Amino acid sequence: MRNSMIQAIEDDLKIFRFAEETECEYNQRLIYSAGASWAKTLVYGHSHADSKLNDNFVHTDIMYIESLLSKVLEAYLQCFDINMDWIESGTNSGLEVYARDLASQIIKEVIYTYNLAQILSRRITPVPTLLYKYADDLYLVRGSVLSEKNVYSVGVSQWKRDEKVKEYLIDTKIVDVKGINYYRVMVEEFDWKKSELDGEYLIFKLGSKGGYSKCWKPISLNEIPQGISIIRLANEINGGFVMIKKIKDNYRINVLDPWYIEEKEIYRILYSLNYENGTPAEFKIKKKEEYYVLRCSGALPKYEDRILRCCSWPYMTYNDRYSRIVPKFLWEIVEKQISDLGINLVY
């Protein structure tokens, strides 16, 4: 039964075992992508068992979709061998709780990658199924599950490999500036104003190769270095970010809009500052025969982060944002997005 179920998932999702991965690692990828496919199936209404069925749950409460999906995932977890460290949260809660947690995470990812939409805070609804071009023969599918021979599931998303696609979109990038040039943009185009600052601040310490969340150090305003720096209020956890441009003893400031925090654009600034400083961030890569394991030392802006999630599976745990499995045929897309931020990829 297990082998026939694996065969059915492979046929439906076009996922196959990598030569250098264990059976448990492979099962984890299968469960994750199958869960995402079922989440979309429940809303779009196309049954894996019979495409003529249309038992969809449009505009349904997110908890109802989660409860249905968790039952499917619990069956998978009972049937397939996995590394329990991939799913456990530190407590022995049992498969029912693990399945519910996994279902919740998968639904969040499907919404985050624009394959479903969340409206009225709690309701789930379909989005138009569209193709976005990322290479001459590679198109990201957003929306309903496509069951075609040249469509491959990766993470919670699907990719279509086809040289003859005529109707597609190009994903619009709000900040379309490479890290090598972003420092100049900050100098010339940010709204620098003369103003006084009060309070206790932390400064982003340049040059560290560790996690960026740990690079904020206390500083007095008279210790601010020359050039451009970024500081934040010491008593605010996720806000109060201020850019400072200091020339000799004079400085001007640019108080960052909340959009920079909400879209994680703060990280585009941090990576650019370190690149300009000659100490670019480093992400480590393990190159395998058919895939790569990417380990990020910091978060990505949401635009790049969404692309990475669409191109990969979580590695260490089911909700791992920083260690990702990227198949070889999508690596160039990931490599470009990360390198364009001014980050060095260390193999």
Q: Is the pLDDT of residue 223 over 70?
A: yes
User: What pLDDT score was predicted for residue 290?
Assistant: 97
Instruction: Mark whether 271 and 219 lie in a shared domain.
Output: yes
Domain-embedded: residue 210: yes
Number of Cβ within 10 Å of residue 21's Cβ equals 17
Among 276, 303, 334, give the residue marking a domain's end: 276
Which CATH number goes with the domain that contains 322?
Answer: 3.40.1170
Is-contact 328 292, C-beta < 8 A? yes
Structure tokens at 329: 């045929």
Instruction: Mark whether 76 and 187 lie in a shared domain.
Output: no
Give a three-class secondary structure readout of 167-203.
Answer: CCECCCCCCCCCHHHHHHHHHHHCCCECCCCCCCEEE
User: What pLDDT score was predicted for residue 49?
Assistant: 46
User: What pLDDT score was predicted for residue 90?
Assistant: 62
Domain assignment of residue 134, given as a range: 130-161
Instruction: Mark whether 189 and 231 lie in a shared domain.
Output: yes
Domain-embedded: residue 157: yes
User: What pLDDT score was predicted for residue 248?
Assistant: 87
Q: Is the pLDDT of residue 114 over 60?
A: yes
Structure tokens at 214: 């740990």
For 299-331, write each residue's pLDDT tens digit: 999 999 999 999 999 999 999 999 999 999 999
Number of Cβ within 10 Å of residue 22's Cβ equals 12
Q: How many angstroms separate the CA atoms of 162 and 111, rounded? A: 25
In the sheet that holds 344-346, the strands lie side by side as 313-314, 323-327, 291-295, 282-287, 344-346
User: What pLDDT score was predicted for residue 51?
Assistant: 39
Domain-embedded: residue 188: yes
For 61-77, write each residue's pLDDT tens digit: 999 999 999 999 999 99
Q: Percentage of residues in the chain with pLDDT exceeding 90?
A: 76
Among 276, 291, 324, give the residue marking a domain's end: 276
Provide mean pLDDT across the span 276-293: 96
Instruction: Mark whether 24 and 87 lie in a shared domain.
Output: yes
Among 110, 125, 140, give the residue marking a domain's end: 125
Q: Computed over its alpha carbons, how large is the radius of gyration of the chain? A: 22
Instruction: Mark whether 196 and 261 lie in a shared domain.
Output: yes
Q: Which helix (H) or strand (E) holds 9?
A: helix 2-13
Instruction: Mark whether 257 and 144 lie in a shared domain.
Output: no
Instruction: Mark whether 134 and 72 lie in a shared domain.
Output: no
Instruction: Give the orientation angle of helix 266-276 with respect to helix 179-189, to 10 degrees.
Output: 100
Q: How confident is the model at residue 52 (pLDDT cuts 50, 70, 90)?
A: very low
Average pLDDT over the chain, rounded to an integer: 91
Q: Is the pLDDT of residue 2 over 90?
A: no
Q: How many angstroms separate the CA atoms of 75 and 73, rounded? A: 5
**Quick check: helix, strand or coil at residue 94?**
coil
Domain-embedded: residue 169: no
Q: Is the pLDDT of residue 147 over 50?
A: yes
Instruction: Mark whether 156 and 189 lie in a shared domain.
Output: no
Domain-embedded: residue 166: no
Q: Is the pLDDT of residue 247 over 60?
A: yes
Instruction: Mark whether 113 and 153 lie in a shared domain.
Output: no
Taking alpha carbons only, the member of 221, 345, 338, 204 closest to residue 277 is 204
Provide mean pLDDT across the span 180-186: 93
Instruction: Mark whether 116 and 150 lie in a shared domain.
Output: no
User: What pLDDT score was predicted for residue 48?
Assistant: 47
**What is the pTM assigned to this prediction?**
0.93
Q: How confident is the model at residue 89 (pLDDT cuts 50, 70, 90)?
A: low
Q: How confident is the model at residue 154 (pLDDT cuts 50, 70, 90)?
A: very high
Instruction: Mark whether 309 and 253 lie in a shared domain.
Output: no
Domain-embedded: residue 171: no
Instruction: Mark whether 183 and 290 lie in a shared domain.
Output: no
Q: Percentage of residues in the chain with pLDDT exceeding 70?
A: 95
User: What pLDDT score was predicted for residue 44?
Assistant: 86
In the sheet that holds 138-142, the strands lie side by side as 130-135, 138-142, 157-161, 151-154
Domain-embedded: residue 173: no
Instruction: Give the chain's domain count.
Output: 4
